[in-house]
């Protein structure tokens, strides 16, 4: 019974959209770190912020709790988890696809060389690796602002089609 409740609660929490990037869910972003139901019936949801001080966390916690309560879960606790920290490697392939479909360049592929928990950048450049344009797929892009509409995105411009686009920053 607790397992079925946990699975149901998990599905509900997984469908909550990110407040800053509503085309992706918390599960797509890898922010949803886990859901469990205690023997007493309390639903405990663990969320890992994309970075310390993320202003969207309050909205995420409130929306997850509201949806679970609306689904009949009376006792809900949403907690923030900082260990292990969130990285862009947690974004699912589906999340990357959705970001790209909406004109947002996702971070580098999860399985690309140099990616993963032990990644170390040995470069004096502040430029990230090639970021293809989500509109025309050209790799000839440049960062025009390290900060865009959200703190976890940078603003880039394609030198081929000249269109600006946001890019989710790579976080090791």
d(CA 65, CA 49): 16
Tell me: do 65 and 112 sit in the same domain: no
Tell me: do 125 and 76 sit in the same domain: no
d(CA 132, CA 128): 11
Indicate whether 90 belongs to any domain. no
Tell me: do 75 and 112 sit in the same domain: no
Tell me: do 44 and 109 sit in the same domain: no
CA neighbours closer than 13 Å in the CB half-sphere of residue 7: 4
User: Do strands 141-145 and 153-158 pair parallel, antiparallel, or not at all (unpaired)?
Assistant: antiparallel
pLDDT of the residue at 143: 92
pLDDT of the residue at 114: 45
Tell me: do 60 and 117 sit in the same domain: no
Per-residue DSSP letter, 60: H
Indicate whether 96 belongs to any domain. no
| Helices (runs of H) and strands (runs of E) counted in the chain | 4, 6
pLDDT digits (tens, 9 = 90+) for 107-145: 876 555 444 443 444 445 555 568 899 999 999 999 999
Tell me: do 13 and 66 sit in the same domain: yes
The last residue of one of the domains, among 31, 65, 80, is: 80
pLDDT of the residue at 123: 46
Indicate whether 91 belongs to any domain. no
Q: Number of folded domains in the chain?
A: 2
Tell me: do 69 and 115 sit in the same domain: no
Indicate whether 97 belongs to any domain. no
The last residue of one of the domains, among 80, 96, 113, is: 80
Indicate whether 17 belongs to any domain. yes
d(CA 23, CA 111): 23
pLDDT of the residue at 2: 59
Domain that holds residue 166: 104-172
Tell me: do 110 and 74 sit in the same domain: no
The last residue of one of the domains, among 47, 80, 113, is: 80
Indicate whether 98 belongs to any domain. no
Tell me: do 7 and 70 sit in the same domain: yes
Indicate whether 71 belongs to any domain. yes
pLDDT of the residue at 115: 42
Q: How would you write the pLDDT of the chain (172 residues) with one tens digit per residue?
A: 457 799 999 999 999 999 999 999 999 999 999 999 999 999 999 999 988 778 889 999 999 999 999 999 999 999 999 998 898 999 999 999 999 999 999 987 655 544 444 344 444 555 556 889 999 999 999 999 988 888 788 899 999 999 999 998 876 5
pLDDT of the residue at 171: 67
Determine the 3-state secondary structure of 76 from DSSP. strand
Indicate whether 39 belongs to any domain. yes
């Amino acid at each position: 019974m607790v397992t079925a409740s946990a699975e149901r609660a998990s599905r509900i929490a997984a469908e909550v959209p990110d407040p800053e990037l509503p085309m992706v869910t918390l599960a797509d972003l890898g922010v949803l770190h886990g859901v469990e139901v205690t023997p007493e019936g309390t639903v405990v949801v663990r969320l890992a912020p994309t970075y310390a001080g993320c202003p969207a966390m309050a909205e995420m916690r409130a929306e997850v709790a509201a949806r679970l309560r609306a689904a009949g879960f009376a006792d809900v606790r949403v907690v923030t988890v900082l260990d292990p920290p969130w990285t862009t490697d947690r974004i699912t392939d589906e999340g990357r696809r959705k970001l790209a479909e909406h004109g947002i360049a996702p971070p580098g592929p999860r399985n690309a060389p140099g990616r993963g928990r032990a990644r170390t950048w040995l470069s004096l450049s502040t430029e990230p690796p090639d970021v293809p344009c989500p509109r025309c797929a050209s790799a000839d892009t440049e960062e025009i602002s390290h900060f865009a509409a959200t703190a976890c995105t940078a603003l880039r411009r394609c030198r081929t089609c000249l269109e600006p686009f946001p890019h989710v920053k790579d976080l090791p």
